Amino acid sequence: MTMIHKNEGLRAWLLSDDFSSPRHARAHKAYVSWLRFSSNPLAFGGLLVVVLLILAASFAPIFATHDPLAQDFAKALQPPSLGNLFGTDELGRDVYSRLVYGARTTLYITILVTVIVGPIGFVVGAAAGYLGGWVDMVLMRITDIFLAFPSLVLALAFSAALGAGIENAVIAIALTIWPPVARLVRAETLTFRKADFVVAAELQGASTARILLRYIVPLCAPSVIIRLTLNMASIILTAAGLGFLGLGAQPPLPEWGAMAAQGRQYLLDAWWLTAVPGIAILVVSLAFNLLGDGLRDVLDPKHA
Amino acid sequence: MSDTEVSTTMQDNRWLWLLEALHKLVTSVAVILTTLFGLLVLTFVIGRMVPADPVLAILGDTFDQAAYDRVYQDLGLDQPLYVQFLHYVQNILHLDFGQSNVTKNEVVDDLARVFPATLELAILAITIGTVLGVPLGIISAVRRGTWIDHLARIVGLMGHSTPIFWLGTMVILIFYAGLGWIPGGGRIDLYNDGLVEGPTGMLILDAMLAREWEVFWSALHHILAPALLLGYAAMAYLSRMSRSFMLEQLNQEYILTARAKGLAQPSIVWKHAFRNIRVQLLTVVTLAFCGLLDGAVLIETVFGWPGLGQYLTAALFYADMNAVLGAVLLIGLISILINLLSDVVYRFVDPRTR
């Protein structure tokens, strides 16, 4: 059997809905979802940009043409050219290389915040929704208090108290992002709580933890994944806003928001210092929004 | 429900209804009080988290141990935390937010001075966002899949993804530095400054009241760019939400009935469907207003707009914690009040909640 035949056979096997095993059914579903996702050009474009961002962050030394921290005052504020793709800043550093390394900062903040926020949202939301009663009341009141603040203002207050720096920015953003996730998980949990299969598990003596982990969490997962992906766009914008106000990553570490803020002093002489990092923030945040929308169409058809 | 209808036939139901309304009122007041309490706890905790020593902030570099101890006690730092918290709440209730280390004014006075500027900006921005965003969303729902729907989607996506501080900087670069169409920042021209003072602190309104038209035009000229930018962010959100609300209504059966009766499209959309999404729209407009305060912090910094946001960022820069906490508390309070307001209006507009 040649390679092509084997692939065609695999394709047919994946596409047939005459399932031979649970594994087959799962593989079929994943493949069909992927086909649906990749047929949406906008979502696919978003995915490409995100993959590119991850590649740029992982292999920054390969992508970068210069040392992002190397200063050269003889070459300060040079406009974009072949030698310096996006020009140089006031210290003669290559803007393109700083942009590539800045991808690391952005990705670091985004991933860390998401990893912190996901479990907290799940625990708080599932506990409130499943246990109900006073647990629900207390947890939701706490959530409301955090929701009462506009998120950037709360993040500003926390960063101010904790001091500037990238780790503190992560904590500050995480503190402002978890409440909507908890709300979402709670709402989803409420719809499943009285379902027959949950009651059946309760009657069989399953523990609360088991019910939450094995029955509730997997059902909430698709909408939470969509929410977290869309959240990444706002995490990036909040992080950039904090960086812009000087509360994010500290120099000389390259961070897109801080780069744009610094460029403002030389706006009239060197527009690229502000324009380029801003466009990078825009493109990446747009990509996460498109990716989230695309995932919603595939994973959660009822809300599409 | 009119009173005469109810009182004759359903006396009992009326009492029940009153009782229920009272219960609802008590619950929502309790919710607001706990949220306010939480707000105070949160700002108190943030204030205590600051690594800088508040005593040193007052004394500076030169002091002896006795002076240090005296200030330490004056600030109540030797008391247990819950006593400190009670003091804090007491001070807030007396509108004492402490003194700003930078401006040397009482923080309350500073806030009262800068707040109208932000309010003016935010009101204009939410008006722009609502007037443009809601019709755009509704039209794109009605004409689903046409060019206007795609346009609305692009506008919405860009609004969600653009860093507003960057957009503001680019607008200054192009329209101020390049074309000279807008002023470079601030609230008013230098030679018009101080001509109109009070009663509201909102320059445009005050100038109209005082019939100082030159001041009015100058103020309008200055507010245009920041208000449009903030309004754009609100518009992106509002158009997206009103599109999905409208789509939901248009799929209902009563719309089908209205079409079967031969009603014209505008009448179906505006008299039937729109009436049913008003309440939802009100909620998202208030949410947009709260979100707008976020953008205001950044836009005010970019445009040198002397409002709450710029005050907050300046205070952050100088680690002036009294001022930071005062501003944060005020913004939290505004958000709670706006949500309360939307809740009250909600009850009036939506008969199902009565």
User: What one-character-per-residue DSSP string does B71-120 give?
Assistant: HHHHTTTTS-HHHHHHHHHHHHHTT---B-TTT-SBHHHHHHHHHHHHHH
A12 in a domain, yes or no? no
The predicted structure's pLDDT at residue A1? 45
- Between B5 and A115, residue with greater pLDDT: A115
Task: List Cα–Cα distances, A55 to A48, A103, A160, B161, B348, in angstroms.
Answer: 10, 9, 33, 21, 54
Nearest CA distance, A169 vs chain B (angstrom): 14
- Between A280 and A39, residue with greater pLDDT: A280
A122 in a domain, yes or no? yes
CA-to-CA distance for A288 and A228, rounded, in angstroms?
10
Nearest CA distance, A105 vs chain B (angstrom): 17
The predicted structure's pLDDT at residue A90? 76
pLDDT tens, position by position, A2-29: 555 666 778 888 887 777 888 888 888 8
Nearest CA distance, A294 vs chain B (angstrom): 13
Which chain B residues are within 8 Å of A278, Cβ to Cβ? Answer: 163, 166-167, 169-170
A121 in a domain, yes or no? yes
CATH number for the domain harbouring residue A127 = 1.10.3720.10
ipTM of the predicted structure? Answer: 0.84
The predicted structure's pLDDT at residue B227? 93
The predicted structure's pLDDT at residue A304? 44
Task: List Cα–Cα distances, B256 to A175, B87, B262, B322, in angstroms.
Answer: 46, 62, 10, 59
**Residue in B49, B170, B335 nearest the CB of A162:** B49
Q: Is B328 on the interface with A (CB under 8 A)?
A: yes
DSSP A88: B
The predicted structure's pLDDT at residue B6? 47
Number of domains in chain A: 1
Q: Is A231 on the interface with B (CB under 8 A)?
A: no
Task: List the domain range (segments joined by +) for residue A188.
Answer: 53-303
Cα angle A61, A281, B224; round to 5: 150
Which chain B residues are within 8 Å of A271, Cβ to Cβ? Answer: 173
A82 in a domain, yes or no? yes
Each residue's pLDDT expressed in tens, for chain B with a length of 354 residues: 445 554 555 566 777 878 877 887 787 788 788 888 888 888 888 887 776 666 776 666 666 777 778 777 777 777 788 888 888 888 888 888 887 877 788 888 889 888 999 999 999 999 999 999 999 999 998 888 888 888 888 888 888 899 999 999 999 888 888 888 888 777 777 777 777 777 777 878 887 787 778 888 888 888 889 999 999 989 999 998 999 898 888 888 888 888 888 888 888 888 888 888 888 888 889 888 888 888 888 999 999 888 899 999 888 888 788 888 889 889 888 888 888 787 777 766 666 655
- CB contact (8 A) between residue B163 and residue A257: yes
Report the Cα A301 to chain-centroid distance in Å: 21
Q: Is A233 on the interface with B (CB under 8 A)?
A: yes
The predicted structure's pLDDT at residue A53? 92
Average pLDDT, chain A: 85
Nearest to B328 by CA among B345, B346, B348, B313: B313
CA-to-CA distance for A230 and A293, rounded, in angstroms?
8
CA-to-CA distance for B219 and B210, rounded, in angstroms?
13
- CB contact (8 A) between residue A153 and residue B297: yes
Q: Is residue A54 scored above 70 in pLDDT?
A: yes
Q: Three-class SS of residue A94?
A: strand
A77 in a domain, yes or no? yes
Q: Is A260 on the interface with B (CB under 8 A)?
A: yes
Nearest to A166 by CA among A233, A240, A217: A240
Nearest to B328 by CA among A157, A142, A238: A157
| Dihedral pair phi/psi, residue B106, rounded to 5° | -65, 140
A43 in a domain, yes or no? no
A6 in a domain, yes or no? no
Nearest CA distance, B320 vs chain A (angstrom): 9
CA-to-CA distance for B36 and B53, rounded, in angstroms?
27
**Residue in B161, B313, B336 nearest the CB of A285:** B161
**Within chain A, where are the H helices?**
3-15, 22-38, 41-58, 60-63, 95-131, 133-148, 151-162, 166-193, 196-203, 208-210, 217-244, 256-263, 272-299
A39 in a domain, yes or no? no
- CB contact (8 A) between residue B298 and residue A154: no
Per DSSP, what are the bridge partners of residue B106?
Answer: B99
Integer-rounded Cα Rg, in Å, for chain A is 23
- CB contact (8 A) between residue A153 and residue B293: yes
Q: Is A237 on the interface with B (CB under 8 A)?
A: yes
